[in-house]
Structure 1
Amino acid sequence: MNYFLGIDPSTKCTGYCVMDLNYDIIESGKIEIPEDGAEGEKIFYQVNELEKLFTKYTFSKVLVEDQYAKVNIDTLKKLSKTAGAYLYLDRYGADITTIYPTSWRKVFHGNGKAKKRDTFDKVCAIYEFTHLKYTKDNDLTDAIGICWAAVDLYKEEAAAA
């Protein structure tokens, strides 16, 4: 079976989503990053949590949101280190790729200028999520949008082969 993983990395709460080829959500959630500890410990914690998914599923494609330079430079450095650490998980044989927010949003929305709120609203509508709150769950809904893009890109690549 084909499984796909979308990851929205964060320094506080990382969203993730596992989907199948039909865009059905198999598993999704948020990794709440401990507030205490050194930066390296926080990254290691996230990688350990994500590694559990890699031992549970065989992924055909993994997309990790990349960061663009408009954010605070210190935040950019931290998020780049986090996304880079995820590449360690390629030892499981998955196709792990970073993707800019505008790129995955163009796939998911048909428009790279869509905002986080647009993604939240669309994901809630598609999956009939009525219990989510934008301020608490936008990392999760972004991960779902990223995962959707992973499925679409995989299908495009398969069709072109």
Structure 2
Amino acid sequence: MKIKECIMLAIDSSTSKSGIAIFKNGAYQESSLLDCTNFKNMEDRFKEMSLKLIHILDKYKPYIIYIEETVVNRNVAVQRFLTRLQGVIYGYCVLNDCEFNTIRPTSWRKLAGINQKGKKRDDLKKLAINAVYQRLGIIVGDDEAEAILIGIAALELYKQRTPV
């Protein structure tokens, strides 16, 4: 009997560029960037980002998804975009018996070992890029780095829940 692979997808969502990281059986496999910067209209960008995410979900058929929780900010349009995008992903999970999880930025950074005290957003992005390079020896942009670290943080959560 062949044992099915456990595929986890980690997502750092954004209104223009979303980072995606794929893990198989707890090991990092690959990452990619969904770039929708060529769409100026927010509705067109949302549709394109949704379609790209659905394509990734259909391609990899994950069993577990972790996505960065949306943080309330001053820009209502961005908040609406990211919340709706989570809804697209959640709908996929409901239809495909896939575990859906959100994780706050402060939580995944802590679990990934990033010292965030007193750091600004741009500094945190640089730290994420460096953390991925230190752990995996690969150079990626900030969106992919954050997606990878969300996945690493999710794996840490599973380790903490599993008795030894």
Q: TM-score range by the shorter chain?
A: 0.7 to 0.9
Residue 44 (structure 1) aligned to one of 39, 43, 47? 47
The alignment status of 1:118 with 2:141, answered yes or no, reads: no
- The more displaced of 51-60 and 11-20 is 51-60
Amino acid corresponding to residue 70 of structure 2 in structure 1: Q
Greater shift after overlay, 81-90 or 67-76? 67-76
Structure 2 contact 46–81 (Cα < 8 Å) conserved = no
Alignment partner for residue 75 of structure 1, among 70, 73, 78?
78
Aligned partner letter, 1:145: L
TM-score in terms of structure 1 length: 0.80
Unaligned runs of 5+ in 1: none
Tell me which residue corresponds to 2:65: 62
Identity across aligned pairs (percent)?
24
Residues in 1 aligned to 2:51 and 2:160: alpha-carbon distance in whole angstroms = 31
Q: Does 1:53 align with 2:56?
A: yes
How many residues are treated as equivalent by the alignment?
153
Give me the whole-angstrom Cα distance separating, in 2, the residues matched to 1:92 and 1:143. 22
5+ residue gaps, structure 2, are none
Q: Deviations over 1:70-111 (max 9, x none)?
A: 453332232222222221221221111121101111211165
Higher relative contact order, chain-length normalized (CA < 8 Å, sep 6+) = 1
